[in-house]
Homo-oligomer: A and B are copies of this chain.
Amino acid sequence: MSKRTEIGTLGEFGLIRHLTEKIELKNKGSIQGVGDDAAVLDYPDKQILVATDLLLEGIHFDLTYVPLKHLGYKSAIVNFSDIYAMNGQPKQITVSLGISKRFSVEDLDELYAGLNLACEMYGVDLVGGDTSASLTGLTISISCIGEGEKGKITYRSGAKDTDIVCVSGDLGAAYMGLQLLEREKRVFKDEENFTPDFDGKEYLLERQLKPEARKDVIESLANAGIQPTSMIDVSDGLSSELLHLSRAGQVGFRIYEDRIPIDFQTASMAEQFNMNLITAAMNGGEDYELLFTVPLAQHDAVSKLKGIHVIGHVTRAELGNYLIGRDGGEVELRAQGWNSLS
């Protein structure tokens, strides 16, 4: 059995020191990290981006199948993704944890290993936070601070009639990964000596458990001289994000079903589960891909970029938001995105 150190043996300040003492600040704009009343940052000549996400056990994650290291990694990534969606670069995060007695110091070491790995991979400094007891379960609150160049920050609101709509990567895989994990959990509960079989489904699990943020897409757009007119990351599902862009930009969208990028494993799993593949891709969420619009004149330039898919175009607002099926039929887009509050 692995070692278990009770958190009470370190105390609040001891725990924070234990978790953060090895952190070295990488960015020259990170002047003061953990250990004072506030972090101190320097952003000369840049605008500052701030995103925040709250993750609650039992709502956003299930520790019966999510390893704590993966959870730490993903918690950081979802925040980085918000900054990339503004055409910015994440630079710092603060991490606040609420921790019940169930968790040991070693558990938190795992969580922090994931947070630190994500920070290392994306060039971000962990500069502050707060640690507290919790009556029930684990609470993770992360704020991410990033930089954007004045005039190059991309809002949700900039889409214009005749712009084309692009999305990176593929959609629906993280959702299918979640379905797979949920099914194995149910089977596991009923059967002793159960070994889950994830052969040929690795991509789905990776998309659910260890997603990446699309730093590479932001860089390849910049290298190609393409400035999106609007952008958002796909966290609640493509339909939901399109409706955000529609509302913010006062425009409509026409999206073509046969253009939606879907991985083979996603399609195969949907068939096996007897689920509607397009519903999963449109409403699944947690893809952390970038959805953006560019002027029609940049159609050829954007089409050449690896992993970027043109999926439709922008219309005037009064034409509404529609998915055009393979047979030419039109279905109005609705946000069936994951609504945790209803």
A contact set with B: CB distance below 8 Å: 7-8, 10-13, 15, 31-32, 35-43, 47-54, 56-60, 82-83, 85-86, 88, 92, 94, 96-99, 127-137, 139, 141, 143-146, 148, 150, 153, 155-157, 231-233, 244, 248, 335, 339-342
Contacts and interface: CB of A to CB of B under 8 A. Distances in A.
A24 to B, nearest CB: 18
Given A38-B51, A39-B49, A342 B143 contact: no
Contacts of A232: 37
A11 B341 contact: yes
Nearest to A55: B132
Given A59-B98, A143-B143, A342 B39 contact: no
Contacts of A86: 36-38, 40
Give the oligomeric copy count. Answer: 2
Given A58-B135, A148-B40, A50 B340 contact: no
A97 to B, nearest CB: 7
A156 B34 CA distance: 12
A36 B156 contact: yes
Contacts of A150: 42
Contacts of A139: 54, 56, 98, 139, 141
Contacts of A233: 37
B35 A47 contact: no
Nearest to A101: B341
A48 B43 contact: yes
Q: Of A12, A50, A335, which is in contact with the most chain B CB atoms at under 10 Å from its CB? A: A50
A195 to B, nearest CB: 30
A249 to B, nearest CB: 12
Nearest to A12: B341
A341 B8 contact: yes
A94 B52 contact: yes
A13 B246 CA distance: 14
Closest 10 CB pairs of A and B: A141-B141, A54-B96, A38-B51, A8-B342, A37-B85, A143-B143, A133-B340, A41-B48, A38-B49, A37-B82
A96 B37 contact: no
